[in-house]
Structure 1
Amino acid sequence: KYPVGTRVQGKVVSITNYGAFVELEAGIEGLVHISEMSWTRNVRHPSKIVSIGETIEAVVLKVDEAEEKISLGMKQTEEDPWMALPQKYPVGARLKGKVRNLTSFGAFVEIEPGIDGLIHISDMSWTKRVQHPSEVVKKGDEVEVLILNVDAENKRISLGLKQAQEDPWLRIGETYPVGIASCASWTRESWWIWGTTSRASSPCLSSASPTCRTWRRR
Structure 2
Amino acid sequence: MEEFNYVLREGSIVKGKVVKKTDDQIYIDIGYKKEGIISKDEIIKYNYQQTIQINEEIDVFIKRLEKDSDFILVSKIIADKKNVFNKIKKAYKDNIPIEATVIKMVKSGFIVDFGANVTGFLPMSHSKAYGKDLTGQKLQFKVITLEEEKKNVVVSYKEYFDEKVKNEEEKIKKIFPVNEKITVKVAGIKENGIEVAKEEFNIFIPSYELSYKRFINIAENFKIDSEIEAFVISTEKGEIKLSVKKNFPDPFEKFKAEKKPGDKVISKIIKIVKDGAYVDIEGVVDGFLPIGEISYYKRINNIEEIYKIGDEIETVIIKTDENQKLIIVSVKRLEKNPWHNIEERYPVGARVLGTIKEIIEGEGALIELEENFDAFMHISNISWFSFTSIFDVIKPGDKKEFKILGIDKNKYRLLLGLKQLSPSPWNSFVNKYKEGSLIDVKIIDIEDNYITCQIVEGVSGRIFIKNKSKVKYKQGDIINVKITKIDKEQKKVILFAKDVEITEEKKQLDEYIKSHEHTFKIDDIAKFDVKKKEEEN
Gaps of 5+ in 2: 1-257, 446-451, 457-471, 474-478, 487-491, 494-537
| Counterparts of 1:64 and 1:20, CA distance in 2 | 13
Residue 30 of structure 2 is matched in structure 1 by: none
Query: In structure 2, do the counterparts of structure 1 residues 140 and 82 end up closer, same or farther at CA, with 3 Å as the change threshold?
Result: same
| Counterparts of 2:370 and 2:357, CA distance in 1 | 12
Residue 375 of structure 2 is matched in structure 1 by: 117
| Counterparts of 1:98 and 1:58, CA distance in 2 | 30
Residue 131 of structure 1 is matched in structure 2 by: 388
Is the partner of 1:212 in helix, strand or coil? strand
Higher relative contact order (CA 8 A, sep 6+): 1
Q: Structure 1 stretch 63-72 or stretch 159-168: which is displaced more? A: 63-72
Query: In structure 2, do the counterparts of structure 1 residues 174 and 138 end up closer, same or farther at CA, with 3 Å as the change threshold?
Result: same
Matched, 1:191 2:454: yes
Query: In structure 2, do the counterparts of structure 1 residues 32 and 130 end up closer, same or farther at CA, with 3 Å as the change threshold?
Result: same
TM-score by length of 1: 0.76
Residue 214 of structure 1 is matched in structure 2 by: 482
Is the partner of 1:82 in helix, strand or coil? helix
Deviation per CA, 1:81-127: give whole Å up to 9, x if none: 3333222111111122221111122122222343232222212222x
Query: In structure 2, do the counterparts of structure 1 residues 20 and 131 end up closer, same or farther at CA, with 3 Å as the change threshold?
Result: same
Give how far 1:165 is off. Answer: 0.6
| Counterparts of 2:398 and 2:323, CA distance in 1 | 53
Matched, 1:36 2:293: yes
| Counterparts of 2:400 and 2:324, CA distance in 1 | 51
Residue 55 of structure 1 is matched in structure 2 by: 312
1:4-19 mapped onto 2 (5 Å cutoff): 4-10=261-267, 12=268, 14-17=270-273, 18-19=276-277
Deviation per CA, 1:104-158: give whole Å up to 9, x if none: 22122222343232222212222x2233212211222222221111122332322
Query: In structure 2, do the counterparts of structure 1 residues 69 and 96 end up closer, same or farther at CA, with 3 Å as the change threshold?
Result: closer
Give 2:372's aligned amino acid.
Answer: G
Query: In structure 2, do the counterparts of structure 1 residues 163 and 42 end up closer, same or farther at CA, with 3 Å as the change threshold?
Result: closer
Give 1:102's aligned amino acid.
Answer: I
Give how far 1:45 is off. Answer: 4.4
Residue 162 of structure 1 is matched in structure 2 by: 419
Give 1:191's aligned amino acid.
Answer: Q
- RMSD of aligned C-alpha atoms? 2.8
| Counterparts of 1:83 and 1:139, CA distance in 2 | 30
Is the partner of 2:344 in helix, strand or coil? helix
| Counterparts of 1:115 and 1:29, CA distance in 2 | 31
Identity %: 28
Residue 341 of structure 2 is matched in structure 1 by: 84
Give how far 1:65 is off. Answer: 5.1
Give 1:111's aligned amino acid.
Answer: L
Gaps of 5+ in 1: 194-208
Preserved CA contact (<8 Å) 1:99 1:141:
yes
| Counterparts of 1:49 and 1:169, CA distance in 2 | 46
| Counterparts of 1:84 and 1:71, CA distance in 2 | 26
1:138-153 mapped onto 2 (5 Å cutoff): 138-153=395-410
Aligned length: 200
Residue 527 of structure 2 is matched in structure 1 by: none
Q: Which protein has the bigger helix share? A: 2
Residue 48 of structure 2 is matched in structure 1 by: none
TM-score by length of 2: 0.34
Give how far 1:183 is off. Answer: 2.4
Q: Structure 1 stretch 16-25 or stretch 89-98: which is displaced more? A: 16-25
Query: In structure 2, do the counterparts of structure 1 residues 175 and 97 end up closer, same or farther at CA, with 3 Å as the change threshold?
Result: same
User: Which entry has the higher C-alpha Rg, 1 or 2?
Assistant: 2
Preserved CA contact (<8 Å) 1:121 1:132:
no
Query: In structure 2, do the counterparts of structure 1 residues 33 and 160 end up closer, same or farther at CA, with 3 Å as the change threshold?
Result: closer
Preserved CA contact (<8 Å) 2:296 2:412:
no
